Amino acid sequence: MSRPIRSFVLRQGRITPAQQRALDELLPKYGLAFPEPIRSEKPLVLEIGSGMGETTAAIAAAHPELDFVAIEVHGPGVGSLLNRIEAGRLTNLRVVRHDAVEVLEQMVPDASLAAIHLFFPDPWPKKRHHKRRLIQPAFVELAASRLAPGAYLHVATDWQEYAEHVLEVLRANPSLANTVADFAPRPATRPETKFERRGLKLGHGVWDIVFTRKP
């Protein structure tokens, strides 16, 4: 039987005792179970691939008027984010430990989101791995269908060739409109990370791409 091509490879990476404890004790508290539909009282922002959760937790803390759901498959990352939620007493951030494609398909109602954040998705630089890239026409169509009219999709990447690919795929989607002519200045809603600051000092670029769903 053929398996779907996924945008991640789950490796049995190292997990710290604190991250493991968070998965055991905090995931039941702050996690959302797949495939229960996501409901929210406030406008809802979905973050895909939250990694270790540093940016995710900072954004949620800065925006109590919004609800956030972070999707991540990597155990240590989920554990780390759960610890940040607990330490920051964040009441507006929940986590789903599952493939974001299936979460969008099964847990997120049509036209329900205020925004989707996709920060530094794996660029899969080798040509034979391009099929693993998250940003593809079918994924963008799915993501766009979950945005409310006027809501935005924000992708950031430090890989120029991927940035150009993202711009091309988003431009080709008839339900989305670019907020600027091509690449956007970094919106205030995306805090600069340590990793990014170091890269910028070394002369590496970061590209932000922000499209909205047409009314």
Ligand X SMILES: C[S@@+](CC[C@H](N)C(=O)[O-])C[C@H]1O[C@@H](n2cnc3c(N)ncnc32)[C@H](O)[C@@H]1O
- Which residue numbers are catalytic? 122
What residues from 114 to 133 belong to the interface with ligand X (CB under 6 A)? 119-122
| Residues facing residue 184 across a β-bridge | 208
Q: How far is the CB of 48 from ligand X (least distance, A)?
A: 6
Using the rule CB under 6 A, is 101 a contact of ligand X? yes
Residue number with CB closer to ligand X (76 or 183): 76
The pair phi, psi for residue 77, each rounded to 5°, is -65, -45
* β-strand pairing of 44-48 with 67-71: parallel
Determine contact, residues 214/175, Cβ cutoff 8 Å.
Answer: yes
Using the rule CB under 6 A, is 50 a contact of ligand X? yes
CA angle at 3 for the pair 49 and 137, rounded to the nearest 5°: 55
Residue number with CB closer to ligand X (100 or 167): 100
Q: In this structure, what token pair is assigned to residue 118?
A: 């996709």
Determine contact, residues 153/114, Cβ cutoff 8 Å.
Answer: no
The number of angstroms, rounded, from the C-alpha of 137 to the middle of its chain's C-alpha atoms is 17
Selected binder of ligand X within 46, 79, 99, 184 (CB under 6 A): 99
Using the rule CB under 6 A, is 100 a contact of ligand X? yes
Per CB under 6 A, which region of 66-74, 164-172, 180-188, 202-210 contacts ligand X?
A: 66-74
Interface residues toward ligand X, by CB under 6 A = 7-8, 49-51, 55, 71-74, 77, 99-101, 119-122, 134
